[in-house]
C-alpha cells in the first residue's frame, strides 16, 4: 500500500488531511474529535486578540452538494480564553496549527506570540477571510503588507508560520511570493471565493452581512489553479484547500503541487467521519493510480522543469 505520511515544515503527519480553519475548531473537544476521526491534525478557528461574536444570522447559505456560502465574521473567544480549548486538544496529542488574525503586522505578531505559547506546532495567518472589514483579505490583498505581516510574526515566534492567502485577487502568486520572502514555512491556498446569495422573492441578499465566501466542490477548480501557480513559483511547500471531499480530490491537489491538504465543507456534508473515509481510501487510490506514495504524487502533473529553475524542496 502506498505510504501517505507527510512531513510539513518539520511536522510529521500520519496522512495529508488536516481540518481546515473555521470548521469545528472553536472548541477543544471538536479539534480532538476531528483527530480521533482520522485527520492528521487540525487548524484552529481563526483567533484574534479579543472575543468576537461574528455577524448576525443568517451566516450560512447551503447549495445542496456543490457548495456553501458563509459570512461568519470571524467569531472567536479571543486569545485570552483560547488556551483552555487548545489544552484539551493538545493533551489528546492532536497536531495543532493555530490560526490567527489581526488588522496589522504588530497585531498579528502579538496574537501569534500568544498562540505559540499555547503549544501549537505551527501558526497559520488568516490573510484571506473575504468578508471582515479591515481584516483577512483586506490586509492580505497587498503583497507588501503580506510580507510585512509574515516577517513580523516569524520574528516573534519560534515555530513554523504558514500564510493562508486569498484567491480574490488578480495575482495570488504575488501574495505567495511575498509570504515566502517574509519567511513563511508554507503557503495555504485557498480561502473561500467571494460570493453573494440573493433571494428574488425577498429582493434582498440572504446573508446578514451581504457578501460571503463560497466553499465546497464548486471551488475545487479555483483552488487547483492557485495551487498549481504557486507550485510553479514558490520554493516553500503549498497546503491545498478548497472543495476536497474524496481521496481523488486530494490526489488532484497533490498533482497540482500540494504537500498536504485541508478539508472543511465536506465535514458539513459527511460529518467528521469524512476524515476516516479519506485516510482509508487514499492508499488504495494512490495504488490504483500507480503512485508508490503520496509524496510521489506531489507536483507530478507539472511538466519537468529545467534543473536550474528548481531548488531543493526537502524531498519529493
Where does this chain bind other proteins (CB under 8 A)? 22-27, 29-30, 32-33, 45, 51-54, 56-64, 68, 70, 72, 75-78, 81, 199, 201-202, 204, 206, 208, 264-265, 267-268, 271
Residue written as cell 486530494? 250
d(CA 54, CA 209): 10
State which residue, 60 or 211, has the beta carbon closest to other proteins.
Answer: 60
8 Å CB contact between 260 and 8: yes
8 Å CB contact between 147 and 139: no
Active site residue 129: yes
End-to-end Cα, the chain, rounded Å: 18
d(CA 208, CA 134): 18
Query: In degrees, to the nearest 5, what angle opens at C-alpha 128 toward C-alphas 124 and 130?
Result: 145
Minimum Å gap between C-beta 43 and other proteins is 13
State which residue, 133 or 315, has the beta carbon closest to other proteins.
Answer: 133
SS3 state at 193:
strand
8 Å CB contact between 208 and 71: yes
Minimum Å gap between C-beta 55 and other proteins is 9
State which residue, 60 or 300, has the beta carbon closest to other proteins.
Answer: 60
From the CB of residue 110, how many other CB atoms can be counted at a distance below 10 Å?
A: 17
State which residue, 208 or 289, has the beta carbon closest to other proteins.
Answer: 208
Looking only at the bridges linking them, the beta strands covering 204-205 and 198-199 are antiparallel
Minimum Å gap between C-beta 29 and other proteins is 5
Minimum Å gap between C-beta 93 and other proteins is 16
State which residue, 68 or 161, has the beta carbon closest to other proteins.
Answer: 68
From the CB of residue 77, how many other CB atoms can be counted at a distance below 10 Å?
A: 17
Helix runs in 25-71, H state only: 28-37
State which residue, 90 or 259, has the beta carbon closest to other proteins.
Answer: 90
Minimum Å gap between C-beta 33 and other proteins is 6
Minimum Å gap between C-beta 30 and other proteins is 5
d(CA 171, CA 167): 8
Which residues, at least 6 apart from 172, have a Cβ–Cβ distance to it below 8 Å? 165, 166, 189, 190, 226, 229, 230
Exactly one of 74, 89, 112, 129 is catalytic; which is it?
A: 129
**Active-site annotation, residues:** 129
Amino acid at each position: 500500500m502506498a505510504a501517505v505520511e507527510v512531513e510539513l515544515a518539520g511536522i510529521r503527519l500520519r496522512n495529508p488531511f488536516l481540518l481546515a480553519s473555521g470548521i469545528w475548531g472553536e472548541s477543544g473537544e471538536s479539534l480532538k474529535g476531528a483527530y480521533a476521526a482520522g485527520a492528521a491534525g487540525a487548524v484552529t478557528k481563526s483567533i484574534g486578540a479579543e472575543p468576537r461574536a461574528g455577524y448576525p444570522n443568517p451566516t450560512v447559505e447551503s447549495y445542496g452538494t456543490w457548495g456553501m456560502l458563509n459570512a461568519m465574521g470571524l467569531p472567536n473567544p479571543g486569545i485570552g480564553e483560547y488556551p483552555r480549548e487548545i489544552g484539551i486538544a493538545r493533551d489528546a496529542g492532536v497536531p495543532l496549527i493555530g490560526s490567527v488574525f489581526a488588522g496589522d503586522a504588530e497585531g498579528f505578531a502579538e496574537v501569534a506570540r500568544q498562540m505559540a505559547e499555547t503549544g501549537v506546532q505551527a501558526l497559520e495567518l488568516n490573510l484571506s477571510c473575504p468578508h471582515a472589514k479591515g481584516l483577512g483579505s483586506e490586509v492580505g490583498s497587498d503583497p507588501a503588507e503580506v510580507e510585512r505581516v509574515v516577517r513580523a510574526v516569524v520574528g516573534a515566534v519560534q515555530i513554523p508560520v504558514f500564510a493562508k492567502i486569498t484567491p480574490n485577487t488578480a495575482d495570488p502568486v504575488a501574495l505567495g511570493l511575498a509570504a515566502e520572502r517574509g519567511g513563511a514555512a508554507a503557503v495555504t491556498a485557498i480561502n473561500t471565493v467571494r460570493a453573494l446569495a440573493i433571494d428574488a422573492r425577498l429582493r434582498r441578499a440572504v446573508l446578514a452581512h451581504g457578501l460571503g465566501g463560497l466553499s465546497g466542490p464548486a471551488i475545487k477548480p479555483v483552488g487547483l489553479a492557485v495551487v498549481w501557480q504557486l507550485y510553479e513559483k514558490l520554493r516553500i511547500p503549498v497546503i491545498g484547500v478548497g472543495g476536497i471531499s474524496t481521496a481523488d480530490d486530494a490526489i488532484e491537489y497533490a498533482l497540482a503541487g500540494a504537500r498536504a491538504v485541508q478539508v472543511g465543507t465536506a465535514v458539513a456534508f459527511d460529518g467528521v467521519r469524512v476524515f476516516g473515509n479519506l485516510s482509508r481510501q487514499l492508499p488504495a487510490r494512490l495504488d490504483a493510480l500507480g503512485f508508490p506514495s503520496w509524496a510521489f504524487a506531489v507536483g507530478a502533473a507539472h511538466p519537468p522543469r529545467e534543473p536550474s529553475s528548481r531548488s531543493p524542496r526537502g524531498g519529493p
